[in-house]
């Protein structure tokens, strides 16, 4: 889509500065991915043939089923609820607007542990059934196995649908009411107006949400590992840790990134088909459709269900577990864990936002210049790497840098600088950025794309530099998108586990690593309180986020 190129001063040094620094940033972020490619191309022992002959087809088909399942369910839940709370008037709507985001704060591995506790043989549900029907052992009856592919699809959907909800709600809110009014005047009923106008306009945003859901699904490890689902990310760990073949693991990881490239391409295609801009009337208040009693009830239930499954039940159980372990909480160094989590996540969120703005705006300024779009896309690939593989990808360039500097300093000044970056919080923050930059760029890009290029042209022809245009014109317009980007990255970082474990400094625990120590040993009760706190901390940005999105419309 070249139509929105900004033709003014396209080749001045102003835009060239943006061009060069964004290339630099993209390359930096791509380093870990390149390291993984390197590992894949030059393995110590090549077992690709063995993998392809035996287990790889299983990994691939399982992964495809998993992604398809999670994506379809997430779209159904996310888009339906977003439409209901944005465009319809029914009791509880104000509550649901933000509450639908709550499951986003629950880590997938936690929810998997909890539902297994509830639904397995020894859990309350099956115990109740056995009491009623007098069954004795597992051989007497059939019950759906929670630790299965379908179980994993459900668990991941419960906590990932908010991505789609978030993006589609933002899109519905930003839509011009006049378009919808026009459609109604043309004789569309509300459903037709949804299918013909709102949904197509929201499609780019939905696609962004869906791409995020799919990528999160691709690299989920906690759930698939616990449920013994043989997805590609489980295969990467198997190959690396159990076959001792990091090269083979990197090869599967590389293949997984091809999946992501396809996903991103699909998203771009979806987006490219649609390009519309609005300028004047976006802040006109939305006229919500009032619903009759039956429809209100249905809408109410449709919005309640995902919250119930993805938040109320798991968090309720965590609360009840925690109640019996309050003493442990008081004895741990909890504040330190929490402050570490905040520091890492906050640092990474700000850095990600900065990089995302740099990359997307540079792309906007230089739409036709060599390779920038590809570079930006390439920088998103880190999102597809499972945390532990990403950690290795981060260690390689950082350690190489540290050791080069050290060797140089030793040779020149007989002074050892040791490891400057490896094993510091910087390494962890860098890893977070590589991992979650895609989330931030996705959100910023889709907001920025909605600002008509005529704004840029007007501003630039009035003599403002690209930077000033960004700050004075774009920032106020895309404030909501920026906030979304920052907070989503923040919550994601709070939950991140594998990379944190491997890269952190000595004696350094975050809330997530603390929970993991116990949860990994199936002792969820022991750490329920800390898990609960991750969830609670995650809720704060979720609420702010929701307020700010609604605010983009009502505050003006």
Partner 1 sequence: MLRKSLFALATLSTTLAFNPMAQAEEVNIYSYRQPFLIEPLLTAFTEQTGIKTNVVFAKKGLLERLEHEGRNSPADILLTSDIGPLFDATEKGLFAPLSSDIVNANVPAQFRDPEGRWVGLTSRARLIYASKDRVKDGEITSYEELADPKWKGRICTRSGKHTYNLSLIGSMIAHHGEEEAENWLGALKENLAQKPQGNDRAQVKAIKEGVCDLALGNSYYFGHMLTNDKEPEQKTWAESVNLVFPNQADRGAHMNISGAGITKHAPHAAAAQKLIEFLTEEESQKYYANSNFEFPVRPNTPRSELIEKYMGEFKGDSINLQEVSAQRSAAAKLVDKVGFDN
- The residue ranges that bind partner 1 (CB under 8 A) are 45, 47, 50-51, 54-55, 58, 121-122, 136-139, 147, 227-228, 230, 237-238, 240-246, 343, 347, 350-351, 354, 358, 388, 391-392, 395-396, 399-400, 402-403, 406, 416, 418-419, 422-426, 429, 498, 501-508, 513, 517, 520-523, 525-526
Please write down the long-range contacts of 293-297, taking CB distance under 8 Å and 24 or more positions apart. Answer: 295/90, 296/90, 296/91
Nearest to 357 by CA among 16, 11, 22, 8: 22
Minimum distance from CB of 15 to partner 1 (Å)? 16
For the bound state, the minimum distance from the C-beta of residue 211 to partner 1, rounded and expressed in Å, comes to 26
| Nearer to partner 1 (CB atom), residue 306 or residue 382 | 382
Smallest separation, CB 139 to partner 1 (Å): 6
Nearest CB to partner 1, comparing residues 402 and 492 = 402
CB of 389 to partner 1, least distance (A): 9
First to last CA, the chain: 31
- Give the shortest CB-177-to-partner 1 separation in angstroms: 34
Cβ(453)–Cβ(6) under 8 Å? yes
Query: How far is the CA of 181 from the CAs of 118, 205, 284, 291, 553, in angstroms?
Result: 48, 22, 12, 18, 17
Q: Which residues contact 161 (CB under 8 A, 6 or more apart)?
A: 73, 74, 77, 78, 103, 213, 306, 310
Cβ nearer to partner 1, comparing 170 with 391: 391
In the complex, least distance from residue 373 CB atom to partner 1, rounded to whole angstroms:
21
- Three-state secondary structure call for residue 88: strand
Provide, rounded to whole angstroms, the least separation between the CB of residue 353 and partner 1. 9
Residue entry with tokens 């609670």: 536
Question: Measured from the CB atom, is 152 or 159 closer to partner 1?
Answer: 152
Minimum CB distance to partner 1, residue 526 (Å): 7
Of the pair 15, 230, the CB lying nearest partner 1 is at 230
| Three-state SS sequence of 468-509 | HHHHHHHHHHHHHHHHHHHHHHHHHHHHCCHHHHHHCCCCCC
Nearer to partner 1, 41 or 262 (CB): 41
Maximum Cα interatomic distance, the chain, rounded to a whole number of Å? 82
Nearest to 180 by CA among 155, 198, 165: 198
DSSP letters for 506-519? TT---HHHHHHHHH
429 versus 439: smaller Cβ distance to partner 1: 429
Using the minimum distance from each CB to partner 1, give the nearer residue, 328 or 373.
328
């Amino acid at each position: 889509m070249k139509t929105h190129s900004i033709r003014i001063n396209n080749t001045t040094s102003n835009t060239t500065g943006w061009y060069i620094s964004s290339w630099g940033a993209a390359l930096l972020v791509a380093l870990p991915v390149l390291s993984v490619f390197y590992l894949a191309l030059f393995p110590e022992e090549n077992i690709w043939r063995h993998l392809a002959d035996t287990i790889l087809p299983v990994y691939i088909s399982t992964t495809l089923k998993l992604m398809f399942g999670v994506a379809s369910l997430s779209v159904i839940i996310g888009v339906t609820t977003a439409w209901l709370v944005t465009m319809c008037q029914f009791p509880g709507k104000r509550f649901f607007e933000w509450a639908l985001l709550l499951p986003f704060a629950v880590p997938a591995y936690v929810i998997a542990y909890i539902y297994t506790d509830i639904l397995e043989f020894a859990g309350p549900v099956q115990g109740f059934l056995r009491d009623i029907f007098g069954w004795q052992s597992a051989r007497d009856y059939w019950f759906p196995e929670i630790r299965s592919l379908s179980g994993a699809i459900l668990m991941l959907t419960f906590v990932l649908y908010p991505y789609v909800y978030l993006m589609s709600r933002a899109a519905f809110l930003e839509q011009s009411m006049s378009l919808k009014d026009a459609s109604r005047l043309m004789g569309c009923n509300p459903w037709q107006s949804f299918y013909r106008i709102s949904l197509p306009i929201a499609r780019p945003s939905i696609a962004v949400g869906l791409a995020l859901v799919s990528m999160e699904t691709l690299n989920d490890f906690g759930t698939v590992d616990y449920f013994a689902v043989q997805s590609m990310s489980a295969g990467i760990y198997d190959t690396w840790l159990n076959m001792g073949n990091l090269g083979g693991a990197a090869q599967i990881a590389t293949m997984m990134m091809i999946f992501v490239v396809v996903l991103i391409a699909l998203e771009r295609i979806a987006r490219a088909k649609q390009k519309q801009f609005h300028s004047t009337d976006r802040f006109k208040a939305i006229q919500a459709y009032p619903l009759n009693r039956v429809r209100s009830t249905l809408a109410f239930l449709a919005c309640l269900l995902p919250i119930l499954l993805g938040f109320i039940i798991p968090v309720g159980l965590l609360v009840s577990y925690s109640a019996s372990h309050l003493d442990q909480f008081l004895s741990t160094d909890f504040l330190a864990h929490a402050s570490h989590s905040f520091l890492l996540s906050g640092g990474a969120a700000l850095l990600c936002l900065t990089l995302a703005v740099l990359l997307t705006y540079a792309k906007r300024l230089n739409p036709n210049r060599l390779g920038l779009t590809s570079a930006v896309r390439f920088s998103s690939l880190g999102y597809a790497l499972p945390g532990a593989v990403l950690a290795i990808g981060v260690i390689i360039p950082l350690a190489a840098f540290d050791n080069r500097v050290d060797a140089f300093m030793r040779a020149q000044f007989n002074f050892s600088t040791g490891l400057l970056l490896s094993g510091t919080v910087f390494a962890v923050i860098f890893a977070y950025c590589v991992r979650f930059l895609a989330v931030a760029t996705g959100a910023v890009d889709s907001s920025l794309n909605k600002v008509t290029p005529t704004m840029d042209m007007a501003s630039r022809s009035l003599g403002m530099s690209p930077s000033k245009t960004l700050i004075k014109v774009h920032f106020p317009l895309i404030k909501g998108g920026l906030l979304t980007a920052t907070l989503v990255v923040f919550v994601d970082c709070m939950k991140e586990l594998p990379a944190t474990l491997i890269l952190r400094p000595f004696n350094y625990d975050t809330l997530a690593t603390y929970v993991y120590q116990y949860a990994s040993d199936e002792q969820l009760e022991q750490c329920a309180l800390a898990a609960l706190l991750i969830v609670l901390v995650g809720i704060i940005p979720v609420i702010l986020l929701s307020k700010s999105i609604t605010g983009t419309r009502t505050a003006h």
